[in-house]
Structure 1
């Protein structure tokens, strides 16, 4: 099972008129600091505030209508939860979402606001994959995983497809890596169009499961990461996503929580946009000089902006720490 450029293009057709075609932002100050021409794909302006809507809607749209009518379920720390809830609502279907008990209140409220029922679990002791599968079986629901699904991956890849249409050919593309779905879809699209493009994944220092897995040549599990980048707190890459990323991902760089905070502040003060921690890791890698040598034309996926005002202030001032 794999994902092709054709799959990403088909997903783009399904998303046309449903998902937002998000803007590409430029900043002379950022270009000067980074030493490159930087094109920022602002997925914080996507529906539900993150790229996740692309994959969720594509996957829900591909379900048999009779199966979809029985309802869908997903497990997620927040953005995929909202995306599946909204995608289900678009088709008049119900959604039951399994969420960590410590998910930010704003993400839980937004998910419920799309009409979903929320079931919670402890992310540090519970196995969300097993719990999600059990919930789906018990209630007869279609399970839409956050990244380990070809239709989800193809949908996520439409962000990179759009970026390359908007900005033209790029020398490199930086993408946050959690479970690996955004990178797998983005790399499929980008390498399919421009084989020489350098695909660079960005992980929080505490959550470097993909970097370790690439070095080992096989999937490596780590303890549940404790980082402010909760959307990237994966313990192990997905089997399907890793099979794609080990072929197409050129390297992974790491950023720590303080560097993520700096990027969030920069985005707010200079770009006038709000990014959640996971959405800022690609920008953090540029500002911290993690990419060397840095190519001339660089794209960065700003993956999301789902964070409430109080938490944003606490994070950027160092009031929230994890560990």
Structure 2
């Protein structure tokens, strides 16, 4: 199937309508510029704190918009199902509860224990199946058919409309951003950034960020066709995509300037730097944007840069190991991170 990027993205009117739903359940999240990050990058850096959203991640906005429309247009639906590594599942669980729907979520075996617990606390029926996200998604599709459940995709125009509201907040507050960096999992965050930029008529460059251990979107972007790629990331589960979504890939290829891959080590350094510089917790995918900015920091000198801290849902024992890694261990040691990043980009 061939997709036209402009047909896949919500309009400004769509985003403004989505905002009415989103702000009925949550307040806008802050965008803040932190002096230590500005110093580290030699740029004016604005962090969009989606880790302050009700479920600790940006996905909650999309779930509310999608299920609001579903409840209005298909009132006969009583149960929904989806697949996730965690944040999308929490979004579905929270929104399903608001609209009186039963939610089933399929996650891979070995998924984050604390994300699983958070989903169960929201009333989700959790199913563990498969070794990675794609296997979980295929199982969810099978269960949807067998149990007559409504299958919520990982990518959909209504999900993007909800997600776009956070990019509208950032870009309306800082319309002169030169570039924004956004992690790419199944693509709703990236498409939300593009939709908001286009809706506001801005010239801001959009750079996608993937894990170097999950290269499907980067390879597909560069080769001009859908490419599957194995997943081996140990930290960035939110971008652990083996099979790209064709619709979001069409937007990526048409609207995004480039795609950068970051290693697990770079992601963990960024997680640690975010905590030292801002005292905010970032999960792996949530730190990918900063990791990419650090990787290309020589190109960002003197620029105005937007990065998303897209989620903070990391298991406490994993985050403890990240903080104990050999790099900067306190505020005074921040400068030790910079030579490390310089060596990696040399």
Q: Give the TM-score range, shorter chain.
A: over 0.9
Show the counterpart of 2:334: none
Matches within 5 A, 1:184-203: 184-203=191-210
Show the counterpart of 2:79: 71
1:32 aligns with 2:19: no
2:64 counterpart (42, 57, 67): 57
Distance in 2 between residues matched to 1:167 and 1:224, nearest whole Å: 35
Alpha-carbon contact 1:156-1:185 (below 8 Å) kept: yes
Q: Which runs of 5+ in 1 are unaligned?
A: none
Distance in 1 between residues matched to 2:51 and 2:127, nearest whole Å: 26
Matches within 5 A, 1:53-132: 53-65=60-72, 66-67=74-75, 69-124=77-132, 127-132=135-140
Show the counterpart of 1:154: 161
Deviation per residue, 1:41-89 (Å, 9 max, x gap): 0000111100010111111111044546511111001111111001101
The count of aligned residue pairs is 318
Distance in 2 between residues matched to 1:78 and 1:96, nearest whole Å: 12
Matches within 5 A, 1:259-278: 259-278=266-285
Distance in 1 between residues matched to 2:298 and 2:145, nearest whole Å: 44
Distance in 1 between residues matched to 2:307 and 2:246, nearest whole Å: 25
1:4 aligns with 2:10: yes
Q: CA deviation at 1:126?
A: 6.5
Tell me which structure has the larger Cα radius of gyration: 2
Deviation per residue, 1:140-183 (Å, 9 max, x gap): 2211122x211111211111111112223311111111111110
Alpha-carbon contact 1:11-1:158 (below 8 Å) kept: yes
Distance change in 2, residues 1:41/1:124 (3 Å)? closer
Alpha-carbon contact 1:253-1:291 (below 8 Å) kept: no
Deviation per residue, 1:204-231 (Å, 9 max, x gap): 1111211111111111110133331011
Alpha-carbon contact 2:293-2:300 (below 8 Å) kept: no
CA RMSD of aligned residues (A): 1.9
Q: CA deviation at 1:10?
A: 2.1
1:139 aligns with 2:160: no
Distance in 1 between residues matched to 2:88 and 2:128, nearest whole Å: 15
Distance in 1 between residues matched to 2:102 and 2:308, nearest whole Å: 30
3-state SS of the aligned residue for 1:227? coil
Show the counterpart of 2:180: 173
3-state SS of the aligned residue for 2:48? strand
